[in-house]
Amino acid sequence: MTTHVLSDTRVLTARSLTHIVRSPDTIITTAVTPIALMLLFVYVFGGAIQTGGTESYIDYMLPGILLITIASGVAYTAYRLFLDLQGGIFQRFQSMPIARSSVLWGHVLTSLVANLVSVAIVVGVAFIMGFRTGASVGAWLAVIGILVLFTLALTWIAVIAGLSAKTVDGASAFSYPLIFLPFISSAFVPTDSMPGPVAWFAENQPVTSIVDTTRALFAGQPVGTDIWVALAWLVGIMAVAFVLAMRIYRRKAA
Amino acid sequence: MTTATQPAASRPGAPAAPAIRVQGVEKSFKDLQVLKAVDFDVAKGSIFALLGSNGAGKTTLVNILSTLMKSDAGTATVEGFDVADSPGDVRRSISLTGQFAAVDEVLTGRENLVLVARLRHQKDPGRIADDLLARFSLTDAGDRRAATYSGGMRRRLDIAMSLIGDPPVVFLDEPTTGLDPQARIEVWQTVKALADGGTTVLLTTQYLDEAEQLADRIAILHEGVIIRNGTLAELKRLLPAAKVEYVEKQPSLEEVFLALVGEPAQAGEPAASVPTAPAAPSTKESR
Ligand SMILES: Nc1ncnc2c1ncn2[C@@H]1O[C@H](COP(=O)(O)OP(=O)(O)O)[C@@H](O)[C@H]1O
Ligand SMILES: [Mg+2]
């Protein structure tokens, strides 16, 4: 292969980031829905929700809100990839002597940057609304690491969607179930308040372990075994999505 | 059945090995056999026109030659590199200007050029971009987003992006489709200048006058095979000489094309029912 993977990836990431800088509405839109949810849950439903803990409700729900932010943000990655495929620029890249995987990595790294910016905005608003954390620097780094892994895992799913979509709407439709998953998890209400089968699903789906880990890190409490379950899910999903995305990409490129 | 007995029109000093060699290339999409057995050579530094109606398989062939697609059978080499075995070497030797302009609409014209220059690992991307903007009369529009460009400007930018790094072989897939006459002539001038500089150009077109204007050799792709391949003069000789009445008129390429395509069953013979007078005024201009 070529030795230019890194420089080609850097150039293509810069290109894709330029797109975001020129239409920052994609970042704003990504942040608006979770902020609205936060307002709704804290000021409307929050008073009626019993979490069984001593923390304020915003502290309880912020981890789930951050996952929703990322789940809706990656839809733009699928969208941008789809537009590249439609517009012919993808073909141009494919016919040039550049490292093949750079075209995808450019979109993936852009997705990471864009989603972390959206997450930062949401966390900022949460602070204004009263979110407080006793997290140490190490705990913050762990939270960031988990969110980065979550973004990468979902981004590779977005790459699959962007590469295989037939229409613009199809490219982003995959994100709806992902946005919905936190609602059937421990993100907003404790899972033991749910009826049997739903509680079983909620306790065993990836979002719950990720939310519980993040919540514990923010609260400065021990994470227990949750973090290993969360990491196993994240790395597993990322690996499967990556392999599938690369397979589809190679077929597309051949 | 081939009538291409003369050596390809090569420029003085050009080596004999062809820049592009296509042998027995086949390609099907499910049940649709688009290319049945395509053979042709393109001499270094020449302009080769692949002429065919809409849906003839021109884009499919260009995609195979530019490594975007794999053929089902046959071999194709570009600058001596097999497109299936050494796609990386082929990509270093070519540039593709696809049927639909492949520019980044969000970026400015200049940024598009800098992007490609960076990806081709050129030394001074900014200078290359400025030079090309000037050469393609886009300097004033260079800092505007490509989304605001007219069709002709977009096509010029598209071709300019393809020329970065001076690839020895350039593929142009229907480079003037959808352009106004003025923009068409500008593209023609660019193509001629490229070939004059020693670049090999393979262009596809549905326009007979375009092939007539530009090409050293013309191949007609019809129903999956090259039914004719020759110089303009050779193709014109396929038809009986025009009947002398008051004015002698050579058959235009359009008449040759229509006669050949209209009679696929007799592809080996000059078509019998050829109009003796041109049906439409000739569009030939002096080169
Ligand atoms: N990816 C594809 N899948 C299925 N059919 C295709 C595909 N690409 C082209 N075709 C079909 O192959 C034929 C030739 O297409 P194309 O090479 O684009 O022709 P041209 O460029 O000469 O107009 C057309 O009938 C077209 O519909
Ligand atoms: Mg075509």
Q: Which domain holds residue B186?
A: 8-261
Find the CATH number of the domain harbouring B44: 3.40.50.300
Looking at this predicted complex, what is its ipTM? 0.87
CA angle, residues B107, B170, B252, in degrees to nearest 5: 115
Q: Answer whether A86 touches B (CB < 8 Å).
A: no
**Residue having the nearest C-alpha atom to atom 26 of ligand 1:** B55
Asked if residue B280 belongs to a domain, the reply is no
**Rounded CA Rg of chain B:** 20
Measure CB to CB from residue A89 to each of B67, B104, B120 and give the nearest one.
Answer: B104
This prediction's pTM:
0.83
B119-175 tens-digit pLDDT: 999 999 999 999 999 988 899 999 999 999 988 889 889 999 999 999 999 999 999
- Residue B184 counted as domain residue: yes
pLDDT of residue B268: 42
The strand order across the sheet containing B73-78 reads B32-42, B20-29, B73-78, B81-82
Q: Does B207 reside within a domain?
A: yes
Name the residue ranges covered by the structural domains of chain A: 2-253
Average pLDDT of the segment spanning B267-286: 41
Give the residue from B68, B59, B65, B53 showing the smallest Cα distance to B18. B65
Residue B266 lies in a domain: no
Q: Does some domain include residue B248?
A: yes
Number of compact structural domains in chain B: 1
Ligand 1: list residues with CB < 6 Å.
Answer: B 29, 32, 34, 52, 54-60
Considering the domain boundaries, does residue B51 fall inside one?
yes
For the CA of B54, the nearest atom of ligand 1: 23
Output DSSP code: residue A49.
-
Q: Which residue has the higher pLDDT, B274 or A70?
A: A70
- Average confidence score pLDDT of chain B: 83
- Asked if A97 lies within 8 A of B91 by C-beta distance, the reply is yes
- pLDDT at residue B189 tops 60: yes
Q: Name the H helices within chain B.
A: 58-65, 87-93, 109-119, 125-135, 151-163, 181-196, 208-214, 232-237, 253-262
Output DSSP code: residue B108.
Answer: B
Give me the residues of B, 252-281, that contact A with CB < 8 A. Answer: none
Tell me the per-residue pLDDT of B246-269, one tens digit each, with 9 for 90 and over.
555 677 777 778 778 775 444 444
On whether residue B86 sits in a domain, the answer given is: yes
The single-letter DSSP state of residue B194 is: H
